């Protein structure tokens, strides 16, 4: 008795076979061999930095800001659908304990800076609204600058397995100036609509 394979099933199987090498390549490149860590995890912090920096000109990002939550390295890859996520978790467990603790300390600093900035922005918007935009800009600028500095340290750890900073003082000053200039643009329609119901108590 002969078995007839459905054309769709055959096509799906062929596609999976063709895609497997690319997936395997992606999985093998997920973890940086210099550190044993995956750079994809830092996207979590790149996202919150981007939101904070763009918030003055894009108030619609406020809900995304409030929705951001700290996530550990293990939690991030346990929830991920990236090829190689299981290898990333396994490699993380094999890291030198001292190296892993130092990386986790940097992550804790990033979490603290991010949450602190979110709380400050929320409090300011809730109590001041659009009546003190310059202060809001300053909060975003200070928060994003601190996060970027610490994120650079995390990036060096992941990409190079080192804790030494490579950015000189002038490059940092230029970057912070660019952040301030960008934050001060297009403020005329800033926070056009209320973010909290009238009479809501401060959290």
The DSSP code sequence of 100-146 is HHHHHHHHHHHHHHHHHHHHHHHHHHHHHTTS-HHHHHHHHHHHHHH
DSSP string, 77-89: HHH---TTHHHHH
pTM of the entire predicted model: 0.68
pLDDT at 162: 80
pLDDT tens track for 155-176: 999 999 887 554 555 665 665 6
Residue-level pLDDT at 171: 62
- Residue 6: the pLDDT is 53
pLDDT in tens, 84-128: 899 999 999 999 999 999 999 999 999 999 999 999 999 999 998
pLDDT given for residue 180 in this prediction: 60
**Does 15 or 134 have the greater pLDDT score?**
134
């Amino acid at each position: 008795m002969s078995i007839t394979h459905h054309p769709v099933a055959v096509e799906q199987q062929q596609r999976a076979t063709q895609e497997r090498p690319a997936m395997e390549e992606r999985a093998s490149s997920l973890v940086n061999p210099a550190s044993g860590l995956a750079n994809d995890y830092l996207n979590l912090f790149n996202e919150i930095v981007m939101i904070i920096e763009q918030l003055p000109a894009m108030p619609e990002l406020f809900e995304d800001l409030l929705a951001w939550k700290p996530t550990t390295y293990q939690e991030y890859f346990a929830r991920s659908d990236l090829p190689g996520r299981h290898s990333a978790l396994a490699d993380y467990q094999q890291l030198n304990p001292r190296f892993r603790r130092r990386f986790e300390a940097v992550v804790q600093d990033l979490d603290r800076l991010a949450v602190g900035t979110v709380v400050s922005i929320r409090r300011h918007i809730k109590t001041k609204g659009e009546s003190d935009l310059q202060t809001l800009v300053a909060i975003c600028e200070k928060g994003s600058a601190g996060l970027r500095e610490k994120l650079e340290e995390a990036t060096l750890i992941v990409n190079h397995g080192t804790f030494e900073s490579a950015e000189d003082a002038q490059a940092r000053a230029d970057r912070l100036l660019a952040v301030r200039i960008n934050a001060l643009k297009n403020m005329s329609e800033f926070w056009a609509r209320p973010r909290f119901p009238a009479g809501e108590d401060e959290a």
